[in-house]
Amino acid sequence: SQTIHQWPATLVQPVGSPLSLECTVEGTSNPNLYWYRQAAGRGLQLLFYSVGIGQISSEVPQNLSASRPQDRQFILSSKKLLLSDSGFYLCAWSGSGNTEAFFGQGTRLTVV
Amino acid sequence: AQTVTQSQPEMSVQEAETVTLSCTYDTSENNYYLFWYKQPPSRQMILVIRQEAYKQQNATENRFSVNFQKAAKSFSLKISDSQLGDTAMYFCAFISYGGSQGNLIFGKGTKLSVKP
């Protein structure tokens, strides 16, 4: 069966520090991968999605970047965090047939 | 570009009653999927129900059913016999079918409170 792993679960980082959040999927190949951010009391904002290795689409220009070095690995990064980067980050995958998305447990990022 | 709109930021319902959450969307695509996700306080996103656009029959999952109106681009969720455990944020979502259209778009959510 397919599983998705996202870590860490919580993270407190100082302003100006780098960020790396990792997401891996098991049990499937060539998934569509997504990074979302959910600010407090708000909906899900799509940050990046990827339909294949090295293929990244950015939905919102910002301080963050994403990479997909392997088929089932999706990384969210920043060189220098801002206070406004605080939020709840969710990784998700869907099959190549674009059926429902399956979500990781999420990472609560607090930039101080 | 596709958009998903949930016009009800918050709703409440008495336990055992029925509630309907609204969702409208905009797309030029003809083939797509629509979903309702639930996010309880634990923040885990859970799929509640899905609808394929090519199917005219409304999807049903136990106490959850949808009213899919393709021409009106409307996709509402009905929860029957509401339970305390239904208290959560509910998100409507859209994804186009196949090809390179990989982006899954969410509405801003509706916070549902079930009162005893």
Going by C-alpha positions, the residue among A15, A6, A18, A23 that lies closest to residue A77 is: A18
Measure the CA–CA gap between A103 and A34, rounded to whole angstroms: 9
CA of A24 vs chain B CAs: smallest distance (Å): 17
Question: Which of A37-46, A58-67, A74-83, A102-111 has the least mean pLDDT?
Answer: A37-46
- Residue B99: its pLDDT value, please? 47
Could B102 and A101 be called an inter-chain contact, meaning their C-beta atoms sit closer than 8 Å? no
Residues of chain B with C-beta less than 8 angstroms from the C-beta of A91:
none
Interval B34-74: pLDDT, tens: 999 999 988 889 999 999 999 989 999 999 999 999 999 99
Residues of chain A with pLDDT > 70, as a percent, come to 94
Question: Which of A55-59, A72-76, A85-89 has the least mean pLDDT?
Answer: A55-59
- Residue B102: its pLDDT value, please? 57
